[in-house]
Amino acid sequence: MHPHDFGWESQLLETGFLAIFLCPVWTLSPVPRRCPPSLICIWTFRWLIVRIMLGAGLIKIRGDKCWRDLTCMDYHYETQPVPNPMSYYMHRSPWWIHRCETLSNHLIELIFPLFTFLGRRMCAVNGAVQILFQVVLIVSGNLSFLNWLTIVPSLACFDDASLGFLFLSGGGVKKTVLEIQNEDAAGRTPKPNKGMLIRRVVNISLAVLIGYLSVPVVLNLFSSKQVMNTSFDPLRIVNTYGAFGSITKERTEVIFQGTLNQDPKDPEALWEEYQFLCKPGDLHRRPCLISPYHYRLDWLMWFAAFQTYEQSEWVIHVAGRLLSNDSAVLSLLDHNPFQDRETPRWVRGEHFTYKFSQPGTASAAQGKWWLRKRIGAYFPAVDLEGLRGYFQSRSWPHPHTSPKQELKT
């Protein structure tokens, strides 16, 4: 998968770009007296959170039918890329709570962003709602640093009066803030110097740039063929956003297995499973908690599970690396069943459906967080020699087993 397919990377680029103009240039003071942040900078952040939310809301309404009949949350907690421990319990909420969750999602993503343009109080209401929404998402799933990053532009919805409580403690910062507020109330603003004039020109230029680059983004929002997580400019300064336009109704997982047996078709062959850092595998392992961190391979395996290995050829590349006990790939896994042993002779991919166990049942009492059922083979058993032609046809370096990695038998 192309790295630009991850919307949070574009969002990080855009947020970082806007932050350049928010920070004071001429002073290191935390509360600059002569170079306060421009309203233009504040509004670029507000415009960012509006686009993030509207993009996410519109792609849902136009996408999966379950968003319109309010049933998507019946599936989301169980089928999201990397569930966390709370996902297990939230999935078992009553049906009417899931309906309320879906309806609330629509209100937060489609209605509340418009409050940004209805005055300071309504703008602050939107900021508070968006931050609370992101906190709920953080609690209910491992969506990488996306939710934490989305809180940043939401903070721009609050003005100085709303954030005054942050400076209640004593010290120089509080004194400076009070002095600035008194000067503003009395209409005593410092006379602009050359640096301030330059910064005004820069801020106005920023507004023109963001406005110009926003035109295709706005047209995309209103288009019936809306696309999400893309950009119309090469520097990805102003981007389109969206998430979960469609919801998978059944969780599938690809499980890598290896064996030391010479014959992979031998019914007596012992196949041992590799465990990833976070994605479901071992039925007894509790869902992990990693936010705001991100295990990219685990996330990509979620995509691969509802595609075929022909569509996700990199899966075979991983299999080849496992056959050679490649340390770089193994560092991305939690458990290598062939640690300090021979390298596996064969590796295969098995395809399973996964469901959360039901609290209070025998499976849960046995410590199982997951139940699974085999679908079939995801990719057949492969060995290093058999992969030689496959790797060469794609110009991949063929993995070789290091003598240090393989124990003599």
Tell me, what's the pLDDT at 29?
Answer: 63
Count of other CB atoms within 10 angstroms of residue 371: 16
Taking the C-alpha atoms of residue 58 and residue 75, their distance in angstroms, rounded to an integer, is: 20
Tell me, what's the pLDDT at 231?
Answer: 86
Triad 11, 12, 18: Cα angle to 5°: 90
Tell me, what's the pLDDT at 180?
Answer: 66
Tell me, what's the pLDDT at 406?
Answer: 41
Tell me, what's the pLDDT at 407?
Answer: 40
What sign does the CA torsion over 50, 51, 53, 54 have?
Answer: positive
Tell me, what's the pLDDT at 398?
Answer: 79
Taking the C-alpha atoms of residue 336 and residue 354, their distance in angstroms, rounded to an integer, is: 21
Taking the C-alpha atoms of residue 213 and residue 232, their distance in angstroms, rounded to an integer, is: 8
- Residue-range domain boundaries for the chain: 3-222, 251-393
Taking the C-alpha atoms of residue 168 and residue 158, their distance in angstroms, rounded to an integer, is: 17
Tell me, what's the pLDDT at 409?
Answer: 35
Tell me, what's the pLDDT at 198?
Answer: 80
Peptide bond between residue 24 and the one before it cis (omega within 30 degrees of 0): no
- The answer to whether the beta carbons of residues 251 and 78 sit under 8 Å apart is yes
H runs (alpha helix) in 23-115: 39-62, 65-68, 73-79, 85-90, 95-106
Q: How far apart are the first and last CA of the chain?
A: 39
Q: Which residues of the chain have pLDDT under 50?
A: 1-4, 402-409
**Radius of gyration in angstroms for the set of CA atoms belonging to the chain, rounded to a whole number:** 26
Structure tokens at 258: 């290896």
Strand 251-259 with 275-276, pairing: unpaired
- The answer to whether the beta carbons of residues 157 and 127 sit under 8 Å apart is yes
- The answer to whether the beta carbons of residues 51 and 221 sit under 8 Å apart is yes
Nearest 5°: phi and psi at 379? -145, 150
Tell me, what's the pLDDT at 183?
Answer: 64
Triad 230, 231, 232: Cα angle to 5°: 135
Closest of 27, 41, 47, 48 to residue 204, by C-alpha? 41
Tell me, what's the pLDDT at 4?
Answer: 40
Count of other CB atoms within 10 angstroms of residue 172: 10
Taking the C-alpha atoms of residue 125 and residue 113, their distance in angstroms, rounded to an integer, is: 10
Tell me, what's the pLDDT at 144?
Answer: 84
- Please write the tens of the pLDDT for every residue from 181-218: 666 666 666 676 776 778 888 889 999 999 999 999 99
